[in-house]
């Protein structure tokens, strides 16, 4: 049986590595992206069951814009927004996400949201 695949999109390498390592320990297959490659290309290639998406991806990239792109083609793909800020809750674009987590060194909340998102995906 194959492991559920999670796509982690974050511009910070140490966050990508931390999430990848921690989620692999939980038994998931994890693909990572720095957000530079077109998101729909990454989703098509990796075929994740869920996406963990950073809101702030460098200077000119917004995870909320990538979320809109994902929703345009993959309405049923669960997306967890991950951010260091809670101000995203006031952005109307963020309502298209399934779950939200605030970045922390304790990944318990992220892992719980991943389980909820996988259940939503039927995995």
User: Domain spans of the chain?
Assistant: 5-121
Cα–Cα distance, 53 to 63 (Å, whole number)? 6
| Class level of CATH domain 5-121 | alpha beta
pLDDT for 109 = 94
The whole-model pTM stands at: 0.92
pLDDT for 67 = 94
43 membership: H or E segment, kind and range: helix 39-46
pLDDT for 96 = 80
pLDDT for 90 = 62
Q: How many CB atoms lie within 10 A of CB 112?
A: 12
pLDDT by residue for the chain (123 residues), tens only, comes to 689 999 999 999 999 999 999 999 999 999 999 999 999 999 999 999 999 999 888 777 889 899 999 999 999 999 999 988 766 666 667 778 899 898 888 899 999 999 999 998 887
pLDDT for 61 = 80
pLDDT for 107 = 94
């Amino acid at each position: 049986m194959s492991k559920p695949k999670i796509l982690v999109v974050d511009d910070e390498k140490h966050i990508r590595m931390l999430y990848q390592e921690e989620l692999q320990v939980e038994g998931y297959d994890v693909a990572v992206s720095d957000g530079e490659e077109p998101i729909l290309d990454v989703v098509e290639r990796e075929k994740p069951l869920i996406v963990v998406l950073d809101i702030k991806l460098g200077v000119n990239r917004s995870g909320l814009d990538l979320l809109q792109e994902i929703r345009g083609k993959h309405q049923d793909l669960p997306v967890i927004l991950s951010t260091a800020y809670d101000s995203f809750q006031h952005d109307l674009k963020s309502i298209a996400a399934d779950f939200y987590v605030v970045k922390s060194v304790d990944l318990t909340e992220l892992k719980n949201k991943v389980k909820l998102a996988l259940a939503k995906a039927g995995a």
